[in-house]
Amino acid sequence: MIKYAQRAGMVKGPACQDESTASPHPIIIVLEPEAASVYCQTKLKDHCFRQGSKFLVVDAGGGTVDLVVHEKVESSGLKLKEVACATGRLCGGSYIDLGFHQHLAERIGCYRTFQREFPVTALKLREQIEEIKCSYDGSIESVTLDLPAKLATAWENHDRENCDFNGTGQYDEIFISGDDVKRIFDLVVNQILVMIRTSLKAVGDIESIMVVGGFSSSPYLMKCIKREFSAPVKHVFNPPDPGSAICQGAVAFGVVEANMIFSRKSKKTYGMSFARIFHADDTKDFLIRAGDISLCINAFNVFVRKGDDVPVDYEIKHVFDISDWAENNDLEVNIYATEEKEPKYVTDEGVQKIGSWSLRLPREAQRMSEAPKIEVLMLFGRTTIELQVKPVNYRSRAKRQPMIFNFDTDLTSR
């Protein structure tokens, strides 16, 4: 994102070709749950967020639901630390829409075909479904959807051709029972309840649950959350204007107090491949010889483990001897991430290569009496990880911009 914003001339930076109209202010990437957390603290002024208190933020959006548990670091200000790794799942409000469309497809034989052939007309049902989402509280006996005339005609023709009449003789509307509506909602809402239960079980001592995002305007969702969690948790909040919580919180994050996060939990284990002393339990496929020394290649050198507390602006440095350069004197430093806490090899299942850094050994370094050394540094910034590789005991004229990753391992630039 940062790189392409620079290329587009929006902000100044290494990739910006024309800085005459580019903004000098850097882009700040804000994580959605953290933006929601800031919003809740600024809007719920009547609630006392004391030092040491823990609260769960549930960001229920259209596509995803993201959860994060924060602990107040200071009694004043907004400074927080992440207590548990942020989690997310595809169970937002749009999946209620999908549930209604699936129900219609089960009852209207030509519905899927109609959706493909007349997508714009099919979207006319969206407003009615949205009204149901915003008003349903679990108590209605049934709902009625008015069908577009083109869909009503297609449905009737389909039934006539297949001698399969709907029993009512009416094709311009469809009745959905309260039980079916509840089933559609529960398929999504129950997933959110499971996520909240998991967070409460993992952390404990959570004093407040704050629910934001567009889907939090659903009366049924809030009713279910309050019904199940009002006893174990002191406060369950749905702050004012929850649909814009992310946008308003992101502005506050960037303008008011950009350094509000004290530390985060690493969502992955990060590291690089390297050669170490060969152990008896290592696979022989990775055995190489360096003189009289037996080495194991493809070993996973860990910089930070999943679940570790990582303070903002925390640096981790590892120094490596470069004893075996390729024939063209190039070296590739590969960076990996995994869900496992103790990965052994970078070839293990679930290990993902998220970036690489190419180095060329200068001629001077090739003639050194000792092995050339490089320093690999990972800097954990506000919401990104910055990687730098530089020589230790030799000089290099090559200038390289740092490689930047999102905190959830995706490579974002260079």
Boundary residue ending a domain (246, 263, 280)? 263
pLDDT at position 323, please? 62
172 and 68: one domain? no
Q: Determine, yes or no, domain membership for 195.
A: no
218 and 272: one domain? no
* Between 366 and 92, the higher pLDDT residue: 92
Please determine, for residue 413, whether its predicted confidence score (pLDDT) is greater than 60. no
Q: Determine, yes or no, domain membership for 111.
A: yes
Q: Determine, yes or no, domain membership for 191.
A: no
* Between 392 and 58, the higher pLDDT residue: 58
Q: Determine, yes or no, domain membership for 304.
A: yes
Q: In what order do the strands lie in the sheet with 261-265?
A: 235-237, 206-212, 54-60, 65-72, 80-89, 261-265, 309-311
Please determine, for residue 410, whether its predicted confidence score (pLDDT) is greater than 50. no
pLDDT at position 412, please? 35
pLDDT at position 178, please? 95
pLDDT at position 172, please? 92
What rounded mean pLDDT belongs to the chain? 84
| Cα–Cα distance list, 103 to 106, 108, 111, 316, 353 (Å) | 5, 9, 10, 53, 41
388 and 289: one domain? yes
CATH number of domain containing 60: 3.30.420.40
73 and 221: one domain? yes
* Between 33 and 414, the higher pLDDT residue: 33
134 and 115: one domain? yes
Report percent pLDDT > 90 for the chain. Answer: 42
pLDDT at position 327, please? 45
Gap between the Cα atoms of 232 and 21, Å rounded = 54
Q: Determine, yes or no, domain membership for 273.
A: yes
pLDDT at position 116, please? 93
The range of the structural domain enclosing residue 309 comes to 266-413
Side chain identity, residue 150? K
Q: Determine, yes or no, domain membership for 219.
A: yes
pLDDT at position 409, please? 40
| Alpha-carbon dihedral angle through residues 246, 8, 389, 348, given to the nearest 10 degrees | 60
19 and 99: one domain? no
* Between 110 and 8, the higher pLDDT residue: 110
Boundary residue ending a domain (241, 263, 285)? 263
Give the pLDDT band of residue 326 (cuts 50, 70, 90): very low
For 251-261, the pLDDT digits (tens) are: 877 766 556 77
Number of domains in the chain: 4
pLDDT at position 398, please? 55
Q: Determine, yes or no, domain membership for 190.
A: no
For 120-147, the pLDDT digits (tens) are: 988 889 899 999 999 999 998 999 999 9
229 and 341: one domain? no
For 174-196, the pLDDT digits (tens) are: 999 999 999 999 999 999 999 99
313 and 393: one domain? yes
